[in-house]
Every structure is written in structure tokens, then in C-alpha cells.
Amino acid sequence: MSESIKVICRVRPLNEQEKANDSKFVVSFPGDGNTTVSLGGKNFSFDHVVQPKASQLEVYEVVAKPIVADVLNGYNGTIFAYGQTSSGKTFTMEGILGDPVFQGVIPRIVHDIFNHIYQMDENLEFHIKVSYFEIYMEKIRDLLDVSKTNLPVHEDKDRVPYVKGVTEKFVATPEEVFDAIDEGKANRHVAVTNMNEHSSRSHSVFMINVRQENLETQKKLHGKLYLVDLAGSEKVAKTGAEGTVLDEAKNINKSLSALGNVINALVEGSSHVPYRDSKLTRILQESLGGNARTTMVICCSPAGYNDAETKSTLMFGMRAKTIKNMVTVNEELTADEWRRRYEREREKVRKLRNILSHLESELKHWRAGETVSQADWFTENQYAGALDDTRDSTTTSSFPSTPMLDSVTTSTPRSAALTNASPAKNVGGVQLQLLYQQLDDRDDEINKQAQTVARLRQQIEEQDVVKNSLCTECERQLEEITTLQAECLLNKDEVKEVLQALEELAMNYDQKAQEMDAISKELEEAQESFLLQTRLIHSKDGELSQLKDTHQNQKKKYTEMTSSLLKDLIDVGECLSDQIMTLSVGSERLDEFTVVRLYVSKIKTEVKLLHSRVRQLEEERVQRVQLMRKSDDESKDLRTRLHAFEVKVSTLSDKIDESESRKRQLQETVDSLNAELAKLRANEQFITGSGQQNEQILAGQSAIRAKLDEEFKRQSEYYAAQVKSLRDELDEKQKKLEEYKDKANNFKFQSEKSQEEVEQLRERLATKTKLLGTFEKTAEKREQARKDLRGSEETVNKELQTLHNLRRLFIEELNSRVKKSANGVNELTVAEKNTGKPEGDNMASQQQNVSKSLFMDDDDDEPGQAGSLAQREKSALLEEELDKLNKMRRQLLRDNAELRCELSKVEKRLECTLERVRSLELSLKEAKEGAMRDRKRYQVEVERIKEVVRQRNITGRRGQSQIAKPIRAGHAPVSTTGGSGTAVTRPDIPGSS
């Protein structure tokens, strides 16, 4: 059932401040004045207008009374007040509790609900729960349990928002409800502004949950009533808000702006309504476009000073009037009711199937070309009669007609409201549900964190209270001690007290001297151990410097040897290149190659040995560095102990000086008293020697003196015992105070030390990270150079292989031609012997034939001169290529050697850096573990203190489970027990029936 929001406009009278400022009454009421408000020549129409002279009872009759019966019949209801600050919202909703004339909507509606219950059928049983919370600084705070400070908003299975974890109290009488309201009002945030002395700084929500059960039919209904008192919108220029009040005003205006955006979206029919922009709009989601009967009270100020704010409020109410809510009954059907509904729907489906089969048969006859008699036609009247039968069966099998069953066919009220408000939300519903679930989980986490923070703050405050009480107690005791000491000083007979004090001071002095000797011995032992540690550190430093020197010498030797080896390798390469250029083949070259290979392998083994030696030295250096760090830590511990001993020695020396000064003062007083005693004795002797006439006087004086001595002795013993007990207490408290001071100094020193170490570790870590970045860059460059070197080596190897192949082919061809030339010479000698030519001619022709045969081509048909020229050109080209390749090879060998040297250096630096980073990480990890241990210890101590305070300040009601209090309708109780445990009667409020 669709209903519009009911908007009531209430205009308050001018207050005293506005009258003092001569503000004009700018609002008028045209017509009968009950539905229209005029401001600035523009009329605004509402469901009802409450004029300034109207009473609180008239406001209740118009605003809230119709909703009471709806809530008891299973509907949801909402009443909230909207307007600027100091416009009368809180007075409208709450008024003055307990005043029959000026109480507001909330107390009147509470009485009215219970009066309706008392007048209903006796078979009905009601369970009423109330909850009271506020939205302060965009955080939901439970006003009935202030420990719950940031409660989340979740949705139930029907997608209805609710506040998770809020306190719900079962109530059975109006007095219990008022007790809950008083408890919540005491915890609500209120501040003073320029416009209002009691300005609400939060939106308060008072929720009444009514659950009804019919004991005969087992029918269950439940309704919720939200009574919302919104905080007023503010202008900082008018309210003069500063500091925390200004932050509160920002959050109030933000939530009210979100409420206006929601109303605008609902009025415009937007596909997306921004309910999640604020906690306020999430809670009022059912009241704005959902399943609730909503009444909005817009409170306005008639003063001309607030003209703009009043106009904005009236326009807000005009927009809110157009919002439609889908109102349905919240009922829980029993199994029998569901069964009856199922039978009814099944009967309806059966009749509709019969109608369908009759129509299909008639249609088949017509399609087959047959004619159907008019008596067999299925007419509209028959169809309507069948539907009427189904409707009759529906109405006869329905429940008794009550206002709560008008829309019983709607299965899920929330789905209808959502379908009307935003039909496009069905797309991607599963994803939205998952996102909402994630949001709820995050809200739970935030709530838990906020609750822990609030709990810790409360614990700190409680500890501060305990500490302040202890300080006041200590000051009071000190004052008592000072008064007692003053009384003791004012006592006439101080001689024996002074003597006893001197004895006690002497004993204390001896004890302090013994303690001082013991502490000095401990200090000497600590100094000796410190000197031993410093000597060990110096010896370790010397060993470390020696190891560094040896490491540097080994490094220099290593570099010299590697450079000499590289030079030898370069020379060997040059020799090899020169030998290749000669192009001579023989067994001696092979021997030289083998010797060079052996020499190179020997060099490689020496280089490996040197590299392993360098690694060993590096490991030893790392071990020495670790030992040095350990010794540094031990020295730091010794320094801390030495500092603690020095502080203790300084305090003891101060105490000794004080005791010496006090002893000196007491000695002076004893000397003066002894002088006075000597004078008195001399006077006594003079009086005794004056004559016998004074014997009787002396006898009486001696008796009086004996009595006075006994009384003095008794009083002195009594005062001495009191002074001794007081001094013992003072000494104990002084010792405790000194112990606390020593602990505080130690803690302060240790915290400063740990802070300095952490800062140093952070600086070292930053520098090492920078160095590590540079080393990574150099490593990348080195890797790139390696890749380039590998590519160049591969190309050089390929060129050398081709040269070796050419050389081998050239040598084979040369050998074959030499053999041919030798055979030709032999044949010529044989021929000359046969012909008989001279020897000179034979030698010349022999040389020519040899030269020709050496430089002839394979083809015997070509001339000899052409073959020799081609061979010369080919050999020249080969020699040039060979020279170029040898030069390139030498350059590559040099580059390779330099890169290997640089690579080894960079690898060493990188290893050192990595080792340093590891050590820093270990130290940082140890520091973190120590911090975690301290934190756990602190948390354990905090939990212990919290448990002690909780056991001390525990209340009877908190933490106990709520017991349901059923209310039987039909009769009112004669007397009820209120929240305070006293029996009170239910008052009869005028106009609340």
C-alpha cells in the first residue's frame, strides 16, 4: 500500500533573545491557518500547520497519535523533527519529562502505547524492547552503554538496515521506559552556542520495538517506532562555533546534506538513492521510500533574523511531501496459514486450468473447420463467474478483517519498496550483496578498533583518577606528618627526644655508610669489569687493524699478481699472433702451445687459490666485525649500569649530606640544652647552700620534681613511640619515592638509548639501501658488459676458426705444390743427364721450374705468370685480415682482463654490502622483537590494571542478560516496579487515551 510522507509544520513563538533584538514576525498563516504557511509572499502547503500558540497536547494529537495503533497492529512508524538550530525540535520530541503540560511527543506516545495495550484483547501478549543511541561525529554511540562508541549498520535477510550491537532493554511499564530515556539523556552530547543554551550536538534515535502474539491463533506481529530528534543545521557566523563545537557543526551539516540528497533522489525518481552517504540516511532508509508510515515535523523560526533558514526548511518539507512509502504489515505466518494459502492458490490454478482446457478444445474445433453451437461457447460471463468463484473462495478463507491484513498478499515488503524505488537495482544483485557484506565486515573491524581505543582511553582515565587520588592521599599524609612534627617541636620537653633522635641518626648514618661502602665496592667492581671490557675492545681493535692491514697487503699482492699475469697473457697472445703470421708449421710450435697452456692452467690455479684466500680473509674480517659489535653492545650495557650506579651514588651522597647537616643542627641544640642544664644545676646548688630554712621548700620541690619527672618520662615515651612510628612511615615512603625515581630515570635513559639506536639503525639502513641500489645498477651494467663480451668472444672465435681453416688449407696446398716442384726437379735432372747440358743451365732452369710450380694454379692450361699474381694477391689479403683479427683479439683480451678485475672488485663490494645489510636487518629485527616484548608487557600490565578497576567499579546491571517481560493486554496493573526498584502507579496523562 503506497502512502505519502506526512509533513507537519510547527512555528515556534519568538524567544527572549529575538524579542530583545526587535526581530520581526515574518511568517503568516493565510486562510484558516491549518494547512498553509506564507513567507516572503510565497505560500507553502503541508498536511497540517501548528501555530505558535498551540500546546504540546495539540501537537501530539496531530503528529503522533494516529501512529500508535499502526505500530501495535504490525506497521513500522517514524516520527522525526527537522529544522535549524534553536527552532524547537528537542522541545517538540521530548519537552519537559514529567510535566503533564510541557512534555513532548516521546513521553506522550509511551503512555499512549501502554494505554492501548491495556485496552486490547486479553489473548494478546506483548514484548516491548527499547534502544536509545545517537549519531555523533558520524559515529553511532549507544546511550544506554557508553562503552559502545562506534556501532556498525548492517542489513538483515530482508535487506532492512539495523544497528548491530545496540543495547535493547525489555520494558513492561512506562516508568521503565522513562528510566531508559533519562539514562540516555544524561549521556547525550549537548553544548552552548550563541543561539541555544542547550544545543543538541548529535542526532538521537529512540526506537521502540513491539512484538505481539495472539495466544489463541498463534498469530505474530511486530512493529518498530523510530522517534528521531535531529540536530539543527547551523551557520557558524550565527552560532559562533569554535574548536570541537565547530567540528560537530561540520558533521551535523554534512549528515543533513546527505538527508537532503536522499530526498531529492527519491522525489526525482533517480535509479540510485545515496542512502550510504551517511549513517543517518542508512538508519532512516526504511522511513524514506521504504516500509514505514513516516511523519516529519519541520520546526521553523518566525524571526526575520532566520528568514533564509526558515525558507530552506519549508522548501525541504515541500519536497519531502512527494515521497511515497510502501507500507505493509510485518507478520509472521504460522504453518496452518501457509497451508491454507497454498490450498487456496492451488484451487485457483485448478479452475484456471479447466477454463484453459475448455478454451483450447473450442479453439481446436474452430480451427478444424467445424462449427460450435452457441450454447457451447465459453463466454466472458462464464470466465468472470469462474474468477468470481476463486475470489469468493479467497475472501472466505482469508483471516478476520483487521487493518493489519490489507496487503497480506505481499510476501516481502522490502522487495516491493525496492522495486518501486529503484527497478534497476535487480541487475547485479549478487555482486551488490557481496559488496554490502564486505562493507559490513569493514564496519565491524572499524567498530572493534574504535571500541578498543575507547576502552583504553577509559582505562587511562581511570588510572589517572587512581593516580590523582594517590597523590592527594600522599599530600594529605605529608600534611599530617608536618603537623605532627610541628606539634612535637612545640613540645616543652625535647631533651630526651633530641637524644633519641641523635642515636637514631647515628645508627642511620652507620647504615648509610655501610650501604655506601657496599655500593662503592660494586662500583669499583663494575669499573674494573668496564676497564677489562675496554681493554678487550682495544685488543680486538688492534687485531682488527692488523687483519685489515694483512687484508690490504694480500689485496695488493693479488692485484699485482693478476696484473702481471694479465701482462704475461697479453705477451703470450702477441707471441702467438706473431707466430701465426709467420705461417710456419712444425713440431716446435706445438710444444710452445702446450707450454703456454700449462702456464695458463698454472696461473688459473694460483688465481683460484688467491681467490679462496681472499674469501677466507673476508670471512675472518666479518667474524671480527661481529665480535667487535658484541663488545660494543657489552660496553653499552656496562655504561648503562655505570650511569645507574652514578645516579644512585649521587642520591646517596645527597642523603648523607642532609643527614650530616641535620646531625650538626641537633648537636648544636644538644650543646645549648646542656649549657642551660648546667646553669640550672648551678642555681640549684646555690639555693641548697643558702641555708636550712629552705629545706622544707626543697623537700616539697623534690617531691614535685619527682612527680614531674615521672610525668615527663611517661609523656616522652609516648611521644617517642609516636615519632618513631611516624619516622618509620616517612622513611618507607621516602624509600618508595626514591625507588620510583630510580626506576623512572632508568626507564628514561633506556628509552633514550633505544631511540638513539633506532635512529642510527634507520640512518644506516637508508645509506645501505642507497649503496645497494648503486651496486644493483653496477651489477646490471656488469651483466650487460658480460653479455657484450660473450658476443664479441663468439665472433672472434668464429673468425679465428675460419683463419685456422684457411691456414690449414694454404699449408696443405703449399706442401702439395712443393712436392710437385720436387718431382719436376728430379725429372729435369734425369732429362739433363740424358741430354748432357751443363750444370749452370740446369740449376737456373731448375730454379725457374720450382718458382713456377710454386705459384701455378691447378689448371695446367693457364699461363704461369697469372697463377703467381693471383696467389700473391690472395696471400696479401689473408695477411691483412690476419693482422686485423690479431689486433682485435689483443684489444678484446685487454678489455676482458680489465672487466674481470673490475668484476671481482664489484663482487667483493657487493658481498660486503650484503653482509652489512644482513647484519642491519638482524639488529633491526632484534630491536623490533624487543619493542614487541615491551609492548606485550605493557598490554599485560594494562589488562591487569583494567581487570582490577573493573572488579572495583563493576555495576550490577552491566554485562547481564536481558530478561523478556511479557505484557498481557486487557487490564492495567495496579502498581508497577520502576527502574529504581520502587512501586509506582501508572499516571493518567490528559489527552493520551
DSSP 3-state assignment of 812?
Answer: helix
Strand 2-4, strand 324-326: pairing: antiparallel
Strand 6-11, strand 293-300: pairing: parallel
791 is in an annotated binding site: no
84 is in an annotated binding site: yes
88 is in an annotated binding site: yes
CA distance 221 to 580: 110
Contacts of 303 (CB under 8 A, 6+ apart): 14, 18, 23, 24, 25, 26
Q: Region of 911 please: left (phi>0), alpha (psi -120 to 50) or beta.
A: alpha
Contact 275, 281 (CB under 8 A): yes
86 is in an annotated binding site: yes
DSSP string, 727-776: HHHHHHHHHHHHHHHHHHHHHHHHHHHHHHHHHHHHHHHHHHHHHHHHHH
What torsion, rounded to 10 degrees, do the Cα atoms 414, 417, 423, 429 define? Answer: -20
83 is in an annotated binding site: yes
546 is in an annotated binding site: no
DSSP 3-state assignment of 326?
Answer: strand
Strand 77-83, strand 124-136: pairing: unpaired
CA distance 153 to 138: 12
Cα 321 vs. chain centroid, distance in angstroms? 43
Please, which residues bridge with residue 211 across strands?
Answer: 127, 222
Nearest Cα neighbor of 279 from 255, 246, 247, 252 is: 255
- Report helix angle 429-489 to 864-953, nearest 10: 50
Contact 975, 985 (CB under 8 A): yes
Contacts of 966 (CB under 8 A, 6+ apart): 125, 126, 127, 172
Nearest Cα neighbor of 723 from 501, 432, 476 is: 501
Burial class (CB in 10 A: 0-12, 13-18, 19+), 570: middle
DSSP string, 100-166: TTTB-HHHHHHHHHHHHHHHS-TTEEEEEEEEEEEEETTEEEESS-TT--SB-EEE-TT--EEETT-
Nearest Cα neighbor of 209 from 234, 241, 235, 180 is: 180
Binding-site residue ranges for ATP: 83-90
Binding-site residue ranges: 83-90
